[in-house]
Amino acid sequence: MNLRDRTAIVGFGLTPYGRRGEFFERSQIDQIRECLDVALEDAGIHRCEVDGFCSYSVDSNDPGMLAPALGIPNVNFSNLVFGGGGGGTCAAIANAAAAVHAGLANVVMVWKTITQPPHARFGAAYGSAMVAANPYSDFHRPFGLVSPVQFLALLVRRHMHRYGTKPEHLAEIAVATRRHAMRNPKALKREPLTIEEHQSSRMIADPFRLFDCCQENDGGGVVLVTSAERARDCRQRPVYIMAGAQGGDALWGHGLTMQNQPDDLYASAGHAHLARRLYAMAGVGPKDVDVALLYDHFSGLVLLQLEDYGFCGRGEGGAFVADQGIYFEGGRLPVNTHGGNLSEVYLLGMTHVAEAVRQLRGTSTSQVPDAEIALVTAGPSNLPTSSMLLRR
Amino acid sequence: MLEALASIHPDADTQPFWDWCAKRELRFQRCDSCGRFRFPPLSGCRHCGATAAEWVRVAGRGRVFSHTTVAHAAFPDLRGDVPYSVVVVEFDEAPGARLISNVVGIDPAKVTVGMELELFFDEAAGIVLPRFRPVGR
C-alpha cells in the first residue's frame, strides 16, 4: 500500500515576486493569507475545509498563529520538515498527501514564504546573523566556506575533474533557463543571455559565475492538497501525487557542509537515493517523465540531478544539456520551463511546484504538448531533501 | 587570513580535534570496531554504528580532492580576503576522512585536483587551524 494517486494538488497561489528585502515590512502571515486566498479561489474550496498545515525549512509561522489569523476553524494536522532552505518543499507536500491518505486531515495547506531583512542576506548563510555558528560549522566556517554557492561549487568542480564537464555546459543551463523566462511575463530576468555573456560574467566561487547563481527574492506560495475523490469536484483538473520521497543516503549526511560523502556520491546532487524510491512508488521511470522542474539554486546542480534521476548516465550530464538539451522545444527533456530560480524568481521551491501544476493543466507559457507526468525536485543540500512525481 | 571567521564553538564530541590542533597535531577518529575513519568528529560510526574510536595522527601530507576559488565575499568583512582558495583535502593515512581547509602560498587559480599538499598550523585570534601549502613551497 502506498499513496500513489490517492491525493492531488487542487490549487496554488503565489505572491507577487519581490526583490530581496522588498516585502520585509510585510508580515509573513499577511503574505500567506494572500497566497491562500488565491489558492482557495483556484481550487474552488472554502477556507473552512482547510484543516492541515505543512511547511519546511524552520518556518516560523506555526499553525497556532496561522489558523486563527487566516480564519481557519480547525487544526487537525501539522508538520514541519527538517533541513535547509529549499530542501523540504516536496517532503512537505508528500507529508500533506500522507496525512490526507491516512485520514488525519481533509485539505492541507503547504506554505512557505521568504522575507529577507536588509542586514542578513539569506545567501550569506553561515556568514550571516541568520545562521548561528555551531560545533559543526567550525569545520568549514573558519576556512571561509560559508555560503551554499561555495559548498556546491566543490561538488561541481569534482564532477568536472571526474567526467570532463565544462563551464560551457553550465552556461547551456543558464541560457536555456533564461530563454524559458523570456517567454514568462512574470519572470524577473527576461533580458536575452548568451553563452558568451555567461562566460564573461564575474566569478563568484569557481566554477560558478554570476549567471550560474539563483536570484534572491522575497515572496511565497501556498499549495492545497486533498483526496483524489474530493479533487474531482474541484474547479481545476486534479494534479495527482504519484509519489513522494524525502531524505537521502545516510552517507551523504551533512554532505553539503562537511564534504565527506563517499566518492561516488560526491560528484552528484545526492538525489539518486530519492529517485529510486520515487520511481518504485510511481511505477514509472525516467523515460515516462515529460517535464522536469529541477531545483536550480545553481546551474551545475541541474546537471547533477539529471544524472541522479537517470535521464542520462553518470558523467553524461554535460552532453545532455549541450545544444540547448533542456529547452522545451527540440530539447531532450524540457527542464524549468518557468525560468527557474535562475531567471524567474527564487521562492524556496514553491514556484517549481506551481510550474509542474501549470504544465499538467496545460497552462504554462512554455507548454510541453500533452504533458502527463512531471518530476519536481527540492533543493540538493544537507539531508533531508525531497522530490515528487505528479501526473494529470 | 579570514580573521573575521577565526572562532570555534566546540562541544564534547568535537573538542578533542581542536585540543590536538592546539598541540600542532592533526588527528582523525578511527572506529575501534570496523577500523574506518570518520569526519567530522561524531560520537558514533556512520559505517557500523559503534561508538568507541581512537584519535589517530596523520603526518600531514594530503591531496586536493576538490577546490574552489572564492572570488565574491559572502559578506563585507571578507572583502579584504578574496580571492581565497578553499580545498577539500584527502589523506592516504586516513582514507574516508576529508578536511575542508585553505591552500596558501600559491595563486588560487593554479590549485588543481590531485595537487600534493603539506600541512601547517596557522594561529589566528588564539585559534590554531590546520592549513596547507603546496608541497615544496
CATH number at residue B89: 2.40.50.840
A387 touches B at CB < 8 Å: no
The C-alpha atoms of residue A14 and residue A187 are separated, in whole angstroms, by: 13
Do residue A157 and residue B69 have CB atoms under 8 angstroms apart?
no
Residue numbers in A near B115 (CB within 8 A): none
Contact B28, B55 (CB under 8 A): yes
Q: What is the model's pLDDT at position A122?
A: 67
B106 touches A at CB < 8 Å: no
3-class SS string, A205-269: ECCEEHHHECCCEEEEEEEEEEEHHHHCCCCCCCEEEEEEEEECCCCCCCHHHHCCCCHHHHCCC
A206 touches B at CB < 8 Å: yes
B126 touches A at CB < 8 Å: no
Closest-approach residue (CA) in chain A for B67:
A154
Q: Is residue B76 part of a domain?
A: yes
How much is the pTM?
0.97
Contact B61, B117 (CB under 8 A): yes
Q: What is the model's pLDDT at position A123?
A: 67
Out of A161, A202, A260, the one facing B39 most closely (by C-beta) is A260
Residues in chain A with pLDDT values less than 50: none
Q: Is residue B1 part of a domain?
A: no
Q: How far is CA A352 from CA A62, A72, A292, B45, in A?
A: 24, 26, 9, 37
Do residue A144 and residue B66 have CB atoms under 8 angstroms apart?
no
Structural domain boundaries, residue B67: 8-134
Residue numbers in A near B46 (CB within 8 A): 250-251, 253
Residue numbers in B near A124 (CB within 8 A): 74-75
Confidence of residue B80 (pLDDT cuts 50, 70, 90): very high
Is A279 marked active-site?
Answer: no
Strands (E), chain B: 26-31, 37-38, 53-58, 61-70, 84-90, 98-102, 116-124, 127-134
Q: What is the model's pLDDT at position A117?
A: 75
Question: What's the one-letter identity of residue A282?
Answer: A
Structural domains of chain B, count = 1
H-type helices in B3-137, by residue range?
A: 15-22
Out of B8, B40, B113, the one facing A161 most closely (by C-beta) is B113
Is A136 marked active-site?
Answer: no
List CB contacts of A106: < 8 A, sequence separation 6 or more.
A49, A50, A51, A52, A76, A100, A226, A227, A230
Residue numbers in A near B100 (CB within 8 A): 139-140, 143, 145, 258-259
Arithmetic mean of pLDDT over chain B: 95
Do residue B86 and residue A154 have CB atoms under 8 angstroms apart?
yes
Smallest Cα–Cα separation from A304: which of A390, A229, A184, A208? A208
Out of A135, A138, A154, the one facing B66 most closely (by C-beta) is A154
Q: Is residue B2 part of a domain?
A: no
Higher pLDDT, A239 or B75: A239
Q: What is the model's pLDDT at position A253?
A: 73
Residue numbers in A near B1 (CB within 8 A): 144
Q: What is the model's pLDDT at position A177?
A: 98
Q: Is residue B3 part of a domain?
A: no
Reported CATH class of domain A7-116+213-391? alpha beta
Average pLDDT over residues B52-69: 97
Closest-approach residue (CA) in chain A for B12:
A135
Could you identify the residue written with the cell 564575474? A202
A264 touches B at CB < 8 Å: no
Nearest CA distance, A113 vs chain B (angstrom): 23
Residue numbers in A near B11 (CB within 8 A): 135
Do residue B129 and residue A142 have CB atoms under 8 angstroms apart?
yes
Q: How many C-beta atoms lie closer than 10 Å to residue A262's C-beta? A: 11
Closest-approach residue (CA) in chain A for B40:
A258
Q: How many C-beta atoms lie closer than 10 Å to residue B61's C-beta? A: 15
